[in-house]
Amino acid sequence: MAGIPNVITDVERIFSKFPGIGRKSARRIAFYLLDKKREDILEIAKAIVDLKDKIEHCTICNHITEQSPCDICANSKRDDSVICIVEDSLDVIALEKSVSYRGKYHVLGGLISPLDGVGPDDLAINSLLSRLDPVKEIIFAINPSVEGDTTSFYLTRLLKDKPIKITRLARGIPIGGDLEYTDEATLARAIEGRIEIPNE
Amino acid sequence: MAGIPNVITDVERIFSKFPGIGRKSARRIAFYLLDKKREDILEIAKAIVDLKDKIEHCTICNHITEQSPCDICANSKRDDSVICIVEDSLDVIALEKSVSYRGKYHVLGGLISPLDGVGPDDLAINSLLSRLDPVKEIIFAINPSVEGDTTSFYLTRLLKDKPIKITRLARGIPIGGDLEYTDEATLARAIEGRIEIPNE
């Protein structure tokens, strides 16, 4: 378009693909960046590249970390006998904010979804099975959805013959809601009120 | 906070300062970037730095451009005898989208605002005065606000003795509204219906 340099439309195109950002906001951001000092821009660019370069997945729980094992796995004060299974690292962060859980986590890295071509082999399930030795309880903290229920069902079957109690978060989480956006108080209550899944 | 690597909070902090992005959206964006391939991340970082490095201000009209003079100033088909004065480059882009103006522009780079310490010397007013030779009409396309009215008044006084007709956009723009967000049809009508400012 006349009057708009290509480097600006490039940045607009990139930002308008970001979650929650539309075309108008992307333009606002491009002009916001244009007003910044060069060193600020270099800092922003570096932070984005660092994000990619410095983050790895914990070899134990698959949570994102700057150094494996992650802080939570490396913390000997946390209870090794309970593992809370979540879809992704955002859920770990949300649960940690509720300050009501002192066990460990396991991040699946997704949910079983045949429609999206995601099967059990695409999730961190083998690494879960290899760390069950001290575990007495597994808590499913998985969003209530078709994919979440399918994944819970699959894992329950897989753990059927182990001497492990399987629980899920109490139904304090609204159906159709997103765990990551649930408030701290509700998450804390959901952890306290977790109920056992009969596994016969 | 436990469970969140520093490089992620760094990126969240940066993005939450962007216009229109809150804390939750910034986190969403950080995780969106984390899922991207490294080459995509480098492309994003490069686009942001390019924005700063490749954009300059047109030496004639002060509009942003990759090469001075800008496309609009360099276009010999556009009418040299009319200059449309705007606050910033976003306004040029908005007016260009309305496809109803074939003259030139002059970007002030702000508005006179004593409260914010912005005086006439901080704006591209000298470069405006130096290009008045072929000009028969100056259109003020400045947002209706205290600063906008002050700036229009100042420029009108400054141009008092020149043989130049001074007009402003028709009052099609809602008071308190933002020129940049006005729809194309309204902008087109505002340009057609521009009225002369008596300058005695």
CATH of the domain at A21: 1.10.8.420
Host domain of residue A32: 6-41
Q: Are residues A99 and A159 in the same domain?
A: yes
Q: Shortest CB distance from A7 goes to which of B14, B55, B181? A: B55
Q: Is residue A59 part of a domain?
A: no
Q: Is residue A56 part of a domain?
A: no
Measured CA to CA, the distance from residue B176 to residue A12 in angstroms comes to: 26
Q: Is residue B169 part of a domain?
A: yes
The confidence score (pLDDT) of residue A180 equals: 77
> For position B172, which CATH number holds?
3.40.1360.10
Q: How many CA atoms lie within 13 Å of B149's alpha carbon, on the beta-carbon side?
A: 5
Q: Is residue B107 part of a domain?
A: yes
Contacts of B27 in chain A (CB under 8 A): 90, 93
The confidence score (pLDDT) of residue A178 equals: 77
Q: Are residues B10 and B81 in the same domain?
A: no
* Residue B184, amino acid: E
pTM, two decimals, is 0.72
The confidence score (pLDDT) of residue A144 equals: 76
Measured CA to CA, the distance from residue A157 to residue A141 in angstroms comes to: 17
pLDDT tens, residue by residue, B71-88:
999 999 999 999 999 999
pLDDT band at A188 (very low <50, low <70, confident <90, very high): confident
Could you count the other beta carbons within 10 Å of the beta carbon of residue A92?
28
Q: Are residues A88 and A183 in the same domain?
A: yes
Q: Give pLDDT < 50 ranges for chain B.
A: none
Mean pLDDT confidence for A55-77: 94
Which of B33, B54, B75 represents a domain boundary (last residue)? Answer: B54
Which residues contact residue A146 at a Cβ distance below 8 angstroms, ignoring those fewer than 6 apart?
Answer: none
The confidence score (pLDDT) of residue B182 equals: 77
Which residues contact residue B168 at a Cβ distance below 8 angstroms, ignoring those fewer than 6 apart?
Answer: B139, B140, B141, B142, B152, B194, B195, B197
Q: Are residues A89 and A186 in the same domain?
A: yes
Contacts of A38 in chain B (CB under 8 A): 52-53
Give the tokens for residue A153. Answer: 């069902």
Query: Average pLDDT of chain A?
Result: 88
In order of A44, A51, A91, B137, the CA distances from B4 in angstroms are 19, 12, 11, 59
Q: Is residue A52 part of a domain?
A: no
* Residue B148, amino acid: G
Q: Are residues B104 and B136 in the same domain?
A: yes
Give the tokens for residue A139. Answer: 């808590």
The confidence score (pLDDT) of residue B171 equals: 62
In order of A24, A69, B158, the CA distances from A64 in angstroms are 32, 10, 61
Q: Are residues A86 and A37 in the same domain?
A: no
The yes-or-no verdict on residue A5 having pLDDT over 60 is: yes
Measured CA to CA, the distance from residue B58 to residue B50 in angstroms comes to: 17
* E strands present in A1-59: 56-57
Q: What ipTM, to 2 d.p.? A: 0.74
State whether A90 and B31 contact (CB < 8 Å).
yes
Q: Is residue A103 part of a domain?
A: yes
Residue bearing the bigger pLDDT, A181 or B92? B92
Contacts of A20 in chain B (CB under 8 A): 21, 25, 28-29
Q: Are residues A88 and A171 in the same domain?
A: yes
Task: Give percent of chain A above pLDDT 70.
Answer: 94
* Residue A40, amino acid: D
Q: Are residues B131 and B42 in the same domain?
A: no
Q: Is residue A54 part of a domain?
A: no
Q: How many domains does chain A have?
A: 2
The confidence score (pLDDT) of residue A200 equals: 64
pLDDT tens, residue by residue, A13-35:
999 999 989 998 999 999 999 98
The confidence score (pLDDT) of residue A158 equals: 92
* E strands present in chain A: 56-57, 64-65, 79-86, 103-107, 137-140, 165-168, 195-196
Contacts of A52 in chain B (CB under 8 A): 33-34, 36, 38, 41
Measured CA to CA, the distance from residue A175 to residue A189 in angstroms comes to: 16
Q: Is residue A179 part of a domain?
A: yes
Q: Are residues B30 and B85 in the same domain?
A: no
Distance separating the N- and C-terminal Cα atoms of chain A? 65
State whether B19 and A25 contact (CB < 8 Å).
yes
pLDDT band at A191 (very low <50, low <70, confident <90, very high): confident
**Going edge to edge, which strands form the sheet with B103-107?**
B103-107, B79-86, B137-140, B165-168, B195-196
The confidence score (pLDDT) of residue A179 equals: 72
Q: Are residues B81 and B133 in the same domain?
A: yes
Q: Are residues B40 and B62 in the same domain?
A: no
The confidence score (pLDDT) of residue B139 equals: 92
Task: Give percent of chain A above pLDDT 90.
Answer: 64
The confidence score (pLDDT) of residue B172 equals: 63
Angle at CA of residue B109, ends B108 and B113, nearest 5°: 90
Helix, strand, coil percentages for chain B (3-state, nearest 5): 45, 15, 40
pLDDT band at A184 (very low <50, low <70, confident <90, very high): confident
State whether B5 and A66 contact (CB < 8 Å).
yes
Q: Are residues A112 and A34 in the same domain?
A: no
Mean pLDDT confidence for A98-127: 93
The confidence score (pLDDT) of residue A171 equals: 62
Classify residue B174 by its DSSP letter.
P
Nearest CA in chain A to B105: A3
